[in-house]
Structure 1
Amino acid sequence: MDSGVGTATGASAGPVADVVAVDLGPGVRAGFTRRPGGVSRGPWAGLDLGLHVGDDPDHVLENRRLVERWAGMPVWYPRQVHGREVAVLDAPPEPGRALASGADGAECDAAVAVGRGHAVAVVVADCVPVLLADPAAGVVAAAHAGRPGLLAGVLESTVEAMVARGAVPASIRVALGPSAGPCCYEVPEQMRDDAAARVPETAATTRAGTPAIDLRAGCAAVLRRAGVGSVRTVGGCTIDDESFYSYRRAKVTGRCGGVVGIAP
């Protein structure tokens, strides 16, 4: 992990949000949550942020409050559908709406926050959480980049939405969070070849020599072609690392998150 990354777990008393903090520039609060901490139980035990995975909604909402406490501002979550649509928040959400937005929010796989005092997030369990920021322009974004969304163009759409609100591609800093790695993300050969036909950098093999997809290599390549100035990778493979939720490892499981906002 590079020098711009650290772990922050909040206050010592009671449940906390275990978050790997990432430096994306002055005033930007950004990080990737891990499984430890939180109040969820059973197969979702830990800091589950997914309202759509069968966990007790009250537990998930409390976990989201812990993340808001870490962020120091309201955090808005889209209702993800593995597409390329982007929501843009020009002002903080109404009180209470941020926490529950996984249930009633817009169907999209990326969200842009303009200005200070509110954050956006995505939830993942092997897909790539992508955090983007142009601090000088006051624009940040979070994107959910699984195989379908990456190939559909969700990252290009996210950069375009940021630019439309004043961001400059060369000034955008990006962190790609923990996700399924090519070491473990085995897929049928035809699926790998189809993905590589769209994004060549996704082609990979597992440690066992079978066909695989490298999601983060694909994300980095797409972002660089979009003119993004800085792209870094944080953490390892979620299938290998049990401190993260992984759908490939357990179909009934929770969701980690990536969150970014500009401090008030």
Structure 2
Amino acid sequence: MTLESVTSDLLAPVAHGFFTRKGGASSGVFAGLNCGVGSSDQREAVMLNRARVAAAMAAPTDALLGMHQVHSADVAVVDGLPEDPDAPRPRADAMVTATPGVVLSVLTADCQPVLFADPEAGVIGAAHAGWRGTLDGVLEATVEAMLALGASRAGLRAVIGPTISQRAYEVGPDFFDDFMMQDPANGRFFAQGQGDRMQFDLPGLGLARLRAAGIDHCAWTRHCTYSDPERFYSYRRSTHAKEADYGRLISCIRL
């Protein structure tokens, strides 16, 4: 089956894709294109899925680079392919490069996958931005790392891919209080839910942080991972269904 990916004109002509779960070799709760090496899926299926993604990005499998994601604001700068493809992945939540042929990737299952490009400067980036990483500044850190490689704020574009939408993201009062303690203006990202529950707007927060960082050309693809089980994996949906594990979506960008 052919792979399916969501793309954005905002990142053109840079090769990129927010891949859905369609077209993969995994089965069971992972059915489809699970690219999470940290999942309990069969490793052979995951590696086959990753090879298919690399091929779709017109790159060899060893050019598909990822991270050990830890919900941080840390950024890894990539200046070429690793000499040892089996070397440990960097502990970070964003990657940037100005090296052609390198495929930067992030894994998500409700968190925001954010792809960045300055086509004129030849600099790209990819970030994994959950609520913690976004609040701690992973998007701003990615922008700064790209500027250090020669990108410009005026030339930068950023697109948030499939992520959990506000209508599906119910949180409790402690979560709300953490945001309000950092900045009372964060109240705009919450809507009243049932009882003491609130509905949190993660992509709204992401877009606001990007714009505050001087990135005028930014957008969300408006795909909700929770609400579309045929196309997307969702950690929260799997938790609600009491499933033992969940697949990970992959999002990629290449110069």
**Global fold match (TM > 0.5):** yes
Structure 1 runs (4+) deviating above 6 angstroms are none
How does 1:46-65 map onto structure 2 within 5 Å? 46-65=32-51
TM-aligned CA deviation for residue 30 of structure 1: 1.1
Conserved? CA contact 2:14–2:253, under 8 Å: yes
How does 1:202-221 map onto structure 2 within 5 Å? 203-205=189-191, 210-221=197-208
Question: How far does the alpha carbon of each residue in 1:118-160 deviate from its partner, in whole angstroms, 9 at most, with x for none?
Answer: 1101000000000000011111011000011111111111011
Q: Is 1:254 the counterpart of 2:247 in the alignment? A: yes
Amino acid at match of 2:25: V
Q: Is 1:157 the counterpart of 2:141 in the alignment? A: yes
TM-aligned CA deviation for residue 170 of structure 1: 1.8
* Aligned twin of 2:176: 192
Question: How far does the alpha carbon of each residue in 1:236-264 deviate from its partner, in whole angstroms, 9 at most, with x for none?
Answer: 211111110000011411000211111xx
What TM-score comes out, normalization by structure 1 length? 0.86
Aligned-partner Cα distance in 2 for 1:44–1:202: 35
* Aligned twin of 2:93: 109
Question: How far does the alpha carbon of each residue in 1:22-70 deviate from its partner, in whole angstroms, 9 at most, with x for none?
Answer: 2344541111011111101111110001011111111111111111111
Conserved? CA contact 2:193–2:199, under 8 Å: no
Aligned-partner Cα distance in 2 for 1:62–1:144: 23
* Aligned twin of 1:67: 53
Aligned-partner Cα distance in 2 for 1:125–1:202: 24
* Aligned twin of 2:233: 245
* Aligned twin of 1:137: 121
Q: SS state of the match for residue 238, structure 2? A: coil
Q: SS state of the match for residue 48, structure 2? A: helix
Give ranges in structure 2 of 5+ residues lacking alignment: 240-244
Conserved? CA contact 1:178–1:234, under 8 Å: yes
Q: SS state of the match for residue 36, structure 1? A: coil
Question: Aligned-residue CA RMSD in angstroms?
Answer: 1.9
Mark the CA change 1:196 to 1:220 in structure 2 (over 3 Å): closer, same or farther: farther
What TM-score comes out, normalization by structure 2 length? 0.89
TM-aligned CA deviation for residue 201 of structure 1: 6.4
Conserved? CA contact 2:112–2:130, under 8 Å: yes
Question: How far does the alpha carbon of each residue in 1:88-142 deviate from its partner, in whole angstroms, 9 at most, with x for none?
Answer: 11123447x2xx67xx201100011213111101000000000000011111011
Question: How far does the alpha carbon of each residue in 1:201-222 deviate from its partner, in whole angstroms, 9 at most, with x for none?
Answer: 6622277584022111111111
Conserved? CA contact 2:11–2:116, under 8 Å: no
The farther-off stretch of 29-38 and 15-24 is: 15-24
Structure 1 or 2: more strand by fraction: 1
Q: SS state of the match for residue 149, structure 1? A: helix
Number of residue pairs matched by the alignment = 243
Amino acid at match of 2:253: V
Aligned-partner Cα distance in 1 for 2:12–2:223: 26
Amino acid at match of 1:143: A
* Aligned twin of 1:146: 130
Aligned-partner Cα distance in 2 for 1:127–1:26: 23
* Aligned twin of 2:110: 126
Aligned-partner Cα distance in 1 for 2:20–2:188: 25
